[in-house]
Amino acid sequence: MADSMFKTPWRAEVGKKKRYLFLWRWVVIATSVVALSPMVILSFVNYFQYKRALHEEVGERARHVTASTKRSLEFFLAQRRSALTFITRERTFEDLGDQAKLEAIFENLQDVLGDIVDLGFIDSGGKQISYVGPYDLKGKNYSEQDWFHEVTIRGYYVSDVFMGYRHIPHFVIAVARKWGAGKPCVLRATIDSDILAQQIRSLNIEPPSEAFLINREGVLQTPSRNQGNLLEKSHVDVPPYSEQWVVREAGGSSGKTSILGYAYINSSPFILIIIKYPATSLANWFNLKRGLWLFLIFSMIVTVLIIMTMATYMVSRIREADSHRAMVLHKVEYQAKMASLGRMAAGVAHEINNPMAIINEKAGMLKDIATFKDDFSYKDKTLQLVDSILHSVERCSRITHRLLGFAKYIDVKIEAIDMDILVKEVIGFLEVEANYRNIEIKVDVLDDNIPTIKSDRGQLQQVLLNMLNNSLNALAESGRDGRILITLNSEGPDHVSVTIEDNGPGISKENLTHIFEPFYTTRSNGTGLGLSITYGIVEKLGGQIETKSEVGVGTSFKVTLPVKKQNSGSGS
Amino acid sequence: MKKFKLLLVDDEEEFVRALAERLKMRDLESDTVFDGDQALSFVDEKEPDVMVLDLKMPGIDGIEVLRRVRKTYPNLQVIILTGHGTEKDEERARRLGAFDYMRKPVDIDDLVGRVKKAYKRKLDDLSVAATFAEAGEFDTAREIMNEDDDGSGKR
């Protein structure tokens, strides 16, 4: 109903736009902070945890590899040492010194341990008394050499890798044994160091990670990928001695962090070095990282968008509700005002009636006296004056009756009404006056099948009368030939409309907003109540009233009524 | 026929006195009282034919007077003349048996006309009832005397 109440006396107060923007902004900020901070915090936490876990995993593998490779290398060397030691226990000094017997032993050894290159027996004086192998070493004296001293003291010896005569890298394992009371003799074997490289190759370490052996001076004992060639100095610093294997982080050669594992191989000069770059896992790590960030940013954007949408929706609903409430309050206020005005008006009307009745009678009496008396000098004048008094009393009476009509809410008596007939009836009341004033009234029925309305005849009459009276009064003021056009039409299946148009002076825009207010009139002798009563009646009957006007052109009132009486709710 | 007796009841003395004078100028004699109690006493004593009765009076108000006289003097025709009435009041008054209902300020000649009508009504009722009574139909006669103005059934 709000649309049709245009030019109504009340206006809805719309809340200030700023206030709602402010509210919206703070809702969005607060909700975003609350929603996003856990997301962000958790993302960061996750990120660092992932990083650490990945690192640990790589480290774990490095540890595993280092430990097990150390063990297997140690086992390998121990195995060969055991073999040689067994031979010295098993055979006599003479057997080992015998070239042919040594050859047989060498053959067996070679069959069992495939990597033996040569085998030699050295007496306590350092002289190699028997030798089997590709080199010409029989008779060579090692008494001056460090390793000989070491092996006689220690009982065993493993050498660094060295380049052999045919540019094949070898290393030596030697064991010593005392026969009798003399100094120990040494059984010495040369081993192809490729076997060491093999052990390392079998680790299958993917580039750029690598593993290799160095000696205590940092010289490579096996070939390496990035550290240099065999028997060159490697780029890594020789790590400090540790009986256990060690794995730790190290700044890598190209600035990447790497994981360094090393182990001193017991009973040997070798140090196992394993360098792991978490490169392969890093590829996954980058993808994961990127995925995480993308997801985070995407989630943040979606969250913020949703928050903004919801906030906008909520705030606009709040605003709607506020303005609706303001409108309703205003209307309630207005109605209360009207009701109290009505009551006051009724009270005044009642009170005035009595003194008016007295005036009426007294003036009437004066008239009676003057009429029945014979002619006297002021008879005509007296009668004139008294008539004037009585006329004014009549006018007062009309006003009080209208006031009372405005004040009470008469119960409606419903009957079926033909608008066509009703309009013609009402015109009948005013015909004489219209003719007198040269005003033409025309009725136009636009729809042949206008339904009959169920409504109150008396009140409808009053509505039509009021509006027609207004038009008549307006036309009386303008100089032109007055024309009033009454149009009847059906509005959809459930409504009927009556439009009363005149070509009077029209109503200005400012006045138009007030015309339905009680006591508002631009006429010098108007009551100002006609239209407000009309408005009240129309509303009570469940209808709507609209006005259009243009100064200098005319005015039209359109009343739309339901075919069946509907409840005119207070919220309309 | 006994002389026509008219009673005016209204608490506004100025008004009712002026009314009586004007009626007198039109050959209608009347008595005036100023409240409900006085009205009831007068009706008991003098049995008027027509009563012009105001509604809003101190003490016993017009409606109460109307009720009582309709019971005790059903032939008394009552014309309500009030400054206050609503349509509902009019309905109620007529239902209670008022012959007519007018609002102040009133047109004197209109009032005279209605008073005469009221008296005629009373006479009509009486003569019809008398006819039946003469014919021996006392029940019917009583019915006619007790009937409401619009003949809408018994009290």
* Beta carbons of B84 and A397 less than 8 Å apart: no
Instruction: Give the nearest chain B residue to A356 (CA atoms).
Output: B105
* Contact predicate A349/A400, CB 8 Å: yes
Q: Which among A354, A358, A408 has the least Cβ separation from residue B86?
A: A408
Q: Which amino acid would we find at residue A143?
A: S
Chain A interface includes B21 (CB < 8 A)? yes
Containing A272, the helix (H) or strand (E) segment is strand A271-276
Chain A interface includes B84 (CB < 8 A)? yes
Size of interface A-B (CB pairs under 8 A): 56
Chain B interface includes A348 (CB < 8 A)? no
Q: Peptide bond preceding A208: is omega within 30 degrees of 0, i.e. cis?
A: yes
B154 confidence band (pLDDT: 50, 70, 90): very low
> B25 contacts in A (CB within 8 Å)?
365, 368-369, 372
Q: What pLDDT digit, counting tens, does each position of B41-54 carry?
A: 999 999 999 999 99
Distance of CA B152 to the CA centre of its chain: 18
Q: What is the least distance, in Å, from the CA of A356 to any CA of chain B?
A: 7
Q: What is the DSSP string of A339-363?
A: HHHHHHHHHHHHHHHHHHHHHHHHH
> A365 contacts in B (CB within 8 Å)?
18, 21-22, 25
The CA distance from B55 to A440, in Å, is 45
Q: Which amino acid would we find at residue A278?
A: P
State the complex-level ipTM. 0.71
How far is CA B28 from each of CA A374, B32, B145, rounded to the nearest angstrom?
Answer: 21, 13, 25
* Beta carbons of B105 and A353 less than 8 Å apart: yes
Query: Helix, strand, or coil here: B30?
Result: coil
Chain B interface includes A387 (CB < 8 A)? no
The CA distance from A507 to A515, in Å, is 9
Which residue from B25, B37, B127, B121 is spatially nearest to B79, judged by alpha carbons? B121
The CA distance from A204 to A196, in Å, is 14
Token code pair at residue A79: 């195995």
How far is CA B143 from each of CA A176, A271, B151, rounded to the nearest angstrom?
Answer: 163, 144, 10
A527 confidence band (pLDDT: 50, 70, 90): low
In terms of DSSP H, where are the helices of chain B? 13-25, 36-46, 62-72, 87-96, 108-134, 138-146
Chain B interface includes A436 (CB < 8 A)? no
Q: Which of A343, A356, A361, A373 to mutate to test the interface with B (most CBs of B within 10 A)?
A: A361
Chain A interface includes B102 (CB < 8 A)? no
How far is CA A119 from each of CA A107, A133, A136, A495, rounded to the nearest angstrom?
Answer: 10, 6, 12, 124
The CA distance from A163 to A548, in Å, is 117
Instruction: Give the nearest chain B residue to A350 (CA atoms).
Output: B84
Query: Can you tell me which residue has the tokens 């960030």?
Result: A293
How far is CA A217 from each of CA A150, A162, A248, A400, rounded to the nearest angstrom?
Answer: 18, 13, 21, 127
How far is CA A457 from each of CA A469, A501, B151, rounded to the nearest angstrom?
Answer: 18, 22, 26
* pTM exceeds 0.80, yes or no: no
- Average pLDDT, stretch B138-149? 66
Q: Which among A357, A372, A410 has the least Cβ separation from residue B15?
A: A357
Chain B interface includes A393 (CB < 8 A)? yes
* Contact predicate A515/A507, CB 8 Å: yes
Burial class (CB in 10 A: 0-12, 13-18, 19+), A548: middle
Q: What is the pLDDT of residue B148?
A: 46
Token code pair at residue B89: 């009041």
Q: What is the pLDDT of residue B39?
A: 94
Backbone angles phi, psi at B86, to 5 degrees: -105, 175
Which residue from A223, A157, A159 is spatially nearest to A184, judged by alpha carbons? A157
Q: What pLDDT digit, counting tens, does each position of A197-243 carry?
A: 888 888 887 777 888 898 888 888 888 877 777 888 877 788 888 88
Q: What is the pLDDT of residue A6?
A: 39
A405 confidence band (pLDDT: 50, 70, 90): low
Picking from A36-50, A327-341, B109-123, which range would have the lowest pLDDT averaged per residue?
Answer: A327-341
- pLDDT above 60 (res A336): yes
- pLDDT above 50 (res A569): no
Q: What is the pLDDT of residue A10?
A: 35
Picking from A12-16, A77-81, A155-159, which range would have the lowest pLDDT averaged per residue?
Answer: A12-16
Q: Which among A350, A365, A393 has the least Cβ separation from residue B105?
A: A393
Q: CB count, 10 Å around CB of A514?
A: 15
> B18 contacts in A (CB within 8 Å)?
358, 361-362, 364-365
* Beta carbons of B105 and A410 less than 8 Å apart: no
Chain A interface includes B108 (CB < 8 A)? yes
* Beta carbons of A360 and B104 less than 8 Å apart: yes
Q: Which of A358, A409, A410 to mutate to test the interface with B (most CBs of B within 10 A)?
A: A358
The CA distance from A29 to A307, in Å, is 9
- Average pLDDT, stretch A92-114? 87
Q: What pLDDT digit, counting tens, does each position of B17-32 carry?
A: 999 999 998 889 999 9
Token code pair at residue B28: 């209608």
Residues 6+ apart with CB under 8 A from B141: B129, B130, B132, B133
